[in-house]
Amino acid sequence: MSAQQDLIDSVVGIAPGSPLARLRAQRPDFVRYTQGYHDALLNPSGPGGLSRPERALIALTTAELSGHAGLAAHYRKLLDASGAMPDSPRRAALLDHVRRLVEAPGSATPAHLAALRETGLTATDIVTLSQIVAFVSYQVRVAAGLALLAAESR
């Protein structure tokens, strides 16, 4: 990705200078903060209790469950670059929680959160996990909306 093109532009296929790029340029803070939030969540200076591979796996799973192939491909590359995560109870608990938040967010209970804590996650880690799911879900909606606008302008 070039410095001129952010992730959303890349996965939607927004060419620099195109009508859609000009539309996005009308809201530079929106574009900058969206990319900045991606960078802060997926490649933080200090990953805290969630490793970079865990963060990439959470994002990949969210994108896959949301049905967005472009974002899933991006997060697959990020996971491949950050290293594989072996199967473990922690990995299973993370993936269960991601599925729950994507497919039935209101179904999470204190027992589900306790199961995450039993794998070594702190309250801060659980909030970060949920933020990654929420952020990727947001990216999916933004990318889908922009793709519809792009299709209409053809």
Domains, in order of start, for the chain = 7-152 (1.20.1290.10)
pLDDT per residue of the chain (154 residues) written in tens, 0 to 9: 444 458 999 999 988 888 999 999 999 899 999 999 999 999 998 878 999 999 999 999 999 999 999 999 999 999 999 988 889 999 999 999 999 999 998 898 999 999 999 999 999 999 999 999 999 999 999 999 999 988 887 6
pLDDT value of position 41: 95
Buried b / exposed e over 13-29, threshold 16 CB at 10 Å, is: ebeeeeebeeebeeeee
Cα separation of 96 and 143, whole Å? 25
8 Å CB contact between 20 and 146: yes
Tell whether pTM > 0.85.
Answer: yes
Residue 85 burial by Cβ neighbours in a 10 Å radius (0-12, 13-18, 19+): middle
pLDDT value of position 3: 42
Cα separation of 87 and 129, whole Å? 18
